[in-house]
């Protein structure tokens, strides 16, 4: 037999017959971002000379926010008829040309924003998917973009450069803080999507730019996978160095989302020590870090 397939089998624990090109393998996500080890991390001059560009990140591009039982999800308008009519500074055009897009940096094509969601923990000790030098943050927002050169999301899932996901860490600030002003536009609405299947229309003021941290030219990038579902290895990850600062109340608003539909209350399971509700809420919806294997991580800054 081929030795590489037995290595893969040992590493991921799947029978070889299930190992397809895009099946969970050697480029899984999330990972720990080791900023110290020069065998892992390098500053890439190419990224320094090719700025990451965000286009059409402006109000009016989001349609609604839903509770899908695993996270909140902000869905973007994709179609012509979904455009907001002639509001100054809002998306008014007649085509996909006005959908938020990213390009530059590590990306060789244009990628359009499909949806935004987040991952968080049951406590402040957990939450983010990626870690930095072993440090965990309290949450992580993902802005999921699809390569516009592929005709469908399903096709994109089968390509190494099918998706580009921007990752933004949510970091708890000190006590007594109102929390991040723009993240508030999300957390204030979570009350109205308490149950799985609930959705709320987003007013035309929601601007995804509010989730992009200061100095978005400082980021790490590496090739990886989805962190849910089929774990397809189709993602160019871009993780911003700077974080969004959030309050305890804002984290609690995330933790109060329920994982079951209205009226279908499950038997509440409580942790015997903390008495915290375990099964009823969306908690710890992050995947643990995966081996880096032969990958290196590029930094866009020295």
Residues that bind ligand 1SD (CB under 6 A): 117, 142, 144, 165, 226-228
Residue nearest to Zn ion (CB): 142
Do 94 and 82 touch, CB atoms closer than 8 A?
no
Nearest approach, Cβ of residue 193 and ligand 1SD (Å): 15
144 binds, among Zn ion, ligand 1SD, none (CB under 5 to 8 A by kind): ligand 1SD
> What would the two tokens of residue 235 be?
């993602």
Rg (CA), the chain: 20
113 binds, among Zn ion, ligand 1SD, none (CB under 5 to 8 A by kind): none
Asked if 145 is part of the footprint of Zn ion (rule: CB under 5 A), the reply reads no
Do 160 and 147 touch, CB atoms closer than 8 A?
no
Smaller CB separation from ligand 1SD, 219 or 247: 219
Distance from C-alpha of 251 to C-alpha of 297, rounded to nearest angstrom = 29
CA triple 35-37-41, angle to 5 deg: 55
Nearest approach, Cβ of residue 287 and ligand 1SD (Å): 8
Smaller CB separation from Zn ion, 166 or 299: 166
Binding segment for Zn ion (CB under 5 A), chosen from 14-22, 83-91, 139-147, 273-281, is 139-147
Distance from C-alpha of 244 to C-alpha of 173, rounded to nearest angstrom = 9
22 binds, among ligand 1SD, Zn ion, none (CB under 5 to 8 A by kind): none
The residue among 250, 264, 234 whose CA lies nearest residue 165 is: 234
283 binds, among Zn ion, ligand 1SD, none (CB under 5 to 8 A by kind): none
Distance from C-alpha of 45 to C-alpha of 101, rounded to nearest angstrom = 23
Smaller CB separation from ligand 1SD, 116 or 247: 116
Smaller CB separation from ligand 1SD, 63 or 142: 142
Q: Is 209 helix (H, G, I), strand (E, B) or coil?
A: helix
Asked if 142 is part of the footprint of Zn ion (rule: CB under 5 A), the reply reads yes
Token pair 């308008």 is at which residue? Answer: 77
155 binds, among ligand 1SD, Zn ion, none (CB under 5 to 8 A by kind): none
Nearest approach, Cβ of residue 290 and ligand 1SD (Å): 12
At 163, give phi and psi (nearest 5°).
-125, 155
| Count, residues near Zn ion per rule CB under 5 A | 1
The residue among 249, 90, 102, 250 whose CA lies nearest residue 167 is: 102
226 binds, among ligand 1SD, Zn ion, none (CB under 5 to 8 A by kind): ligand 1SD
Quick one: CA torsion of 141, 211, 31, 225, rounded to 10 degrees? Answer: 70
Q: Footprint of Zn ion on this chain (CB under 5 A)? A: 142
């Amino acid at each position: 037999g081929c030795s590489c397939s037995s290595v893969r089998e040992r590493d991921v624990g799947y029978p070889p017959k299930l190992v397809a090109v895009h099946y969970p393998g050697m480029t899984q996500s999330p990972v720990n971002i080791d900023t110290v080890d020069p065998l892992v991390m390098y500053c890439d001059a190419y990224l320094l000379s090719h700025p990451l560009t965000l286009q059409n990140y402006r109000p009016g591009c989001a349609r609604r926010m839903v509770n899908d039982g695993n996270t909140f999800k902000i869905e973007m308008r994709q179609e012509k008829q979904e455009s907001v009519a002639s509001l100054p500074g809002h998306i008014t055009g007649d085509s996909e040309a006005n959908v938020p897009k990213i390009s530059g940096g590590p990306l060789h094509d244009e990628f359009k924003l499909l949806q935004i969601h987040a991952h968080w923990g049951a406590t402040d000790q957990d939450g983010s998917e990626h870690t930095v030098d072993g440090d965990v943050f309290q949450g992580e927002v993902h802005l999921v973009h699809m390569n516009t050169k592929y005709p469908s999301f399903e096709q994109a899932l089968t390509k190494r450069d099918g998706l580009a996901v921007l990752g933004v860490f949510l970091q708890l600030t000190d006590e007594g803080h109102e929390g991040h002003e723009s993240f508030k536009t999300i957390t204030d609405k979570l009350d109205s999507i308490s149950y799985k299947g609930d959705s709320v229309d987003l007013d035309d003021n929601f601007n995804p730019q509010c989730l992009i941290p200061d100095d978005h030219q400082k980021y790490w990038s590496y090739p990886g996978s989805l962190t849910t579902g089929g774990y397809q290895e189709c993602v160019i990850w871009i993780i911003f160095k700077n974080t969004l600062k959030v309050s305890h109340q804002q984290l609690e608003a995330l933790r109060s989302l329920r994982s079951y539909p209205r009226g279908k209350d499950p038997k509440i399971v409580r942790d015997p020590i903390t008495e915290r509700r375990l099964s009823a809420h969306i908690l710890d919806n992050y995947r643990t870090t995966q081996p880096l294997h032969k990958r290196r991580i590029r930094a866009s800054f020295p």
